[in-house]
Amino acid sequence: MPNLTNYHSHCSFCDGKAPLEAFVESAVGLGFTSYGVSSHAPLPFPAKWALEQERVGDYLAEIERLKKKFCGQIELYAAMEIDYLNEEQHPAIDYFQQLSLDYRIGSVHIVYTPEGKMIDTDTNAENFKQILEQDFRGDLKQLVAIYFESSMRMLEYGGFDFVGHANKISYNVEQCDPFLTQGEWYKKKLTDFFALVAEKELRVEINTKAYLSKGCFFPRIENWKILKKFNIPIVVNSDAHRPELVNAGRMEALEALQEMGFRTVGELHAGKWVEMPLEGMGCNF
Ligand SMILES: [Zn+2]
Ligand SMILES: [Zn+2]
């Protein structure tokens, strides 16, 4: 089977549901050629879902141990999914740049209200609706605009290899207003975002985590033509939180990419990103 890789994954060092080794075993069992471990990076406040700063040493040591243990069976990589929070906390700061990581993911989950209150946009639709009413007086456009401002600033700072789940907010936005994401205002936000991704020569992941439960990828399949237009390199990741889901939704995404005329996906080989051909999903392989 071709293109069996994943570079966005979690484990019990953050909010993943099993020890790191169980994920690697699952990937090896499926015949993966490479696998990247990317726990949520430490945050400047206590958060159950993120790696604690005091455990970073243990985290890196465990990946090192598994690199040796599974040497010859799979290429294993050490990474972190790093939040863009504000000017002080983002992937490009010295702390994250100096850690011995093989690559870095830049993601936006949290944004700030105009009053400076922290909001997690990556929540269920019910909570999202509540946030919208309580903290944005129902002004969905303001919330979306702030999300894209944070996302754009993350690109300006850089310091990471690929963008995690771009436009993930769209799912919750659609639960509040099914028309907003279809309009020109939203499309311009997205186009400006991907234009900057291209200008900064960054990569975008197709995140398949929600495919089984919600039937969509992030960025959304409707957005992929913008990726194509700007010739943005991609990587297809499952964002697995359970070992049995390391490949969940990936084959469907690879097939859809091929149908849309994409020819390659990014994979790490000997520590370098290379463009590998999309190889005949569902054909005679
Ligand atoms: Zn994330
Ligand atoms: Zn993640």
Strand (E) positions, the chain?
Answer: 5-6, 34-40, 75-83, 103-107, 110-112, 118-120, 162-163, 203-207, 234-237, 264-269, 272-277
Q: What span, in angstroms and rounded, lies between the C-alpha atoms of 167 and 283?
A: 31
Confidence of residue 192 (pLDDT cuts 50, 70, 90): very high
- Mean local confidence (pLDDT), 131-153: 98
Catalogue all structural domains in the chain, each as residue range(s) with its CATH number.
5-277 (3.20.20.140)
Percent of the chain with pLDDT over 90: 97
- The pLDDT value recorded for residue 284 is 38
Per-residue pLDDT, 26: 98
Q: How much is the pLDDT for 283?
A: 43
Ligand nearest to the CA of 218: 1
**pLDDT score recorded for residue 285:** 37
Q: How far is the CA of 8 from the centre of ligand 2 (A)?
A: 6
**In this predicted structure, what is the pLDDT of residue 279?**
78
Q: How many CB atoms lie within 10 A of CB 125?
A: 13
What is the Å distance from ligand 1's center to 256 Cα?
22
Least confident stretch, 73-87, 109-123, 179-193, 268-282: 268-282
**Amino acid 280: pLDDT:** 62
pLDDT in tens, 89-99: 999 999 999 99
Name the strand (E) or helix (H) holding 144. Answer: helix 140-157
Q: From the CA of 285, how far away is ligand 2's center (Å)? A: 30
Which ligand has an atom closest to residue 11 CA?
A: 2
Mean pLDDT of 7-17: 98
Quickly state the pLDDT bin for 273 (edges 50, 70, 90). very high
Say if strands 118-120 and 75-83 run parallel, antiparallel, or are unpaired: unpaired
C-alpha 131, offset from chain centre? 23
Separation of CA 245 and ligand 2 centre (Å): 13
**Residue 207: CB partners within 8 Å, gap ≥ 6?**
8, 164, 165, 168, 217, 218, 237, 238, 239
Ligand number nearest CA of 168 is: 1
User: How far apart (Å, rounded) are the C-alpha atoms in residues 60 and 226?
Assistant: 36
* Nearest ligand (C-alpha, residue 8): 2
Q: What is the mean pLDDT of residues 42-47?
A: 96
